[in-house]
Amino acid sequence: MKKVLSGLLVLLLALALVGCGSKETPAPSEGGEEGTARAEELYSMVVFTKGAEYFNWCYAGFRDAAASIGDFITTELQGPAEWDASAEARSLETVLAKNPNGIVVSCADESTLVTSINKAIDSNVPVICFDSDSATSKRLSYVGTDNYSFGAVAGKKIVDTIGTEGEVAIILVPGAVSMEERAAGCVQYLAENAPNIKVNYLNDEGDVAKAEQVVSAAVQANANIKAIFSTHGYGAPGAAAACRTLGKLEDICIIGSDYDSATIELLMAGDVDGTVIDDPYLLGYQAFMLAYAAAHPTSVPSNNAPFGHVPPLIYGGCSLLSGEILQDKAVYDRYTNAPQF
C-alpha cells in the first residue's frame, strides 16, 4: 500500500509540474506561430465620388470589418472627388501599384473599369464590387442591392402620391448599370400598376447643378410631369431646387435615392417626398469580409482559384425613408451622424 501511495504522489507531482510549465508557455499568436506577428495587409476601397456621405458610410463599415479581423490590417479610401469613371479607373491603377491584399470598388459605370479590374485579378489581387457593379469584368463577387426592387419602391411611392395618370421624369446617368436597373424597376412597377403613366428620362451626369438645369427645362417644357425619381443621390436636391424656383414643389412628387445631409433636410422640409435607401455601412462591411476571404484561401473549394471561396452575389434590402419617419429623433440622429474621412 505504501508503494502504491508513493507512486500516486510521484504521478501527482509530475502532473503538477507539467501544469506549471504549461502556464508559462507563450500562446500562439494570430499568425499561428509562437512569438510571431501577422504580416501587414492592405485593403483598398475605390469609389467614384470620394468624400460623398454615402461612401463614407460604406468606408466606415469597411474599416470596422477590418478591425474585427486584427490590427495588422490597414485600409484606405481612394477615388476622384468628382463623378468621373476615367478618373476612377486611374485611381484603381494607382491602388493596384501598391500591390494590396484586396480591393473593393463601386463602379461609376460598368465598362470603363473592366480593364483595370481584370488587370488586378490577373495580378492575383482579389477584387469585389459593391454598390455599383461591373458584371462583365473578372471581379469575384458583388455586394449590393437588388436595384429592380429598389426602383419598384420608388414606383410605389409615386403611384401612392400622384395616382395612375400623368408623366414621370427619371434622372440617371446612362451607362451606370445600377441606375439603369433602378430606372427599369420603377418603370416595370408603373407599367404593372399605372400603365397610363408616361416615363421620360433625364441625364444629369451625376451632378447637382446639372440636375437642377435638366429638371427645370423638362418641367417648363412639359406641364404633365407630376413626379421625378432620381436613381442616384445627387438628383433629388437638384430637382428640389428647380421645382422651388419654378414654384412647383407642391405639384411634383420628388423621390430620391440614398441619403445625405442635404436630402435629409429636404425630407424634413417636405420638399422631397421620400428617398429609397439601402444600408451602405453593411455593404462596406460585407465587401471587406469577401475581399479578406478571397485573399485567404481555405480548404473550401473555390470556383475562382487561386482566390478563396466567396459567393458570387450578396444582396441587401431597401426601403423608403420619408420626412415622417425622420420625425423620430433617434432615427434622425442615425441618418445625420455621417462619419468623416
Convert the pLDDT of each residue in 79-88 to its tens digit.
999 989 999 9
pLDDT at 6 over 80: no
Backbone torsions φ then ψ of 129, nearest 5 degrees = -90, 145
- Which triple of cell numbers denotes residue 4? 502504491
Q: Mutual orientation of helices 280-295 and 53-69 as an angle, nearest 10°?
A: 40
Question: What is the percent of the chain with per-residue pLDDT over 90, rounded to a whole number?
Answer: 85
End-to-end CA distance of the chain: 76
C-alpha cell at 171: 434622372
Strand partners, 41: 73
Q: 99 pLDDT exceeds 70?
A: yes
Distance CA 117, CA 136 (A): 10
- The pLDDT score that the predictor gives to residue 26 is 33
| 223 neighbors 132 (Cβ within 8 angstroms) | no
Task: Pick the more confident residue, 45 or 13.
Answer: 45
Phi, psi angles (nearest 5°) of residue 18: -60, -45
Q: From CA 327, how far away is CA 325, in angstroms rounded?
A: 5
Report angle CA 149, 92, 110 to the nearest 5 degrees.
35
CB 46 within 8 A of CB 88: yes
Does residue 22 carry a pLDDT above 50?
A: no
Q: What is the average pLDDT value for the chain, to the nearest integer?
A: 90
Task: Name the burial class of residue 3, with classes exposed (0-12), middle (13-18) and buried (19+) by CB atoms within 10 angstroms of its CB.
Answer: exposed
Nearest to 100 by CA among 157, 23, 45: 45
Name the helix (H) or strand (E) containing 64: helix 53-69
Model confidence over 293-308: pLDDT tens digits? 999 999 999 999 999 9
Q: How do residues 179-216 score in pLDDT, each as one tens digit?
A: 999 999 999 999 999 999 999 999 999 999 999 999 99
Q: What domains, with CATH codes, occur in the chain?
A: 41-146+280-298+307-317 (3.40.50.2300), 147-277+320-336 (3.40.50.2300)
Instruction: State the pLDDT confidence band at 36, using cuts at 50, 70 and 90.
Output: low
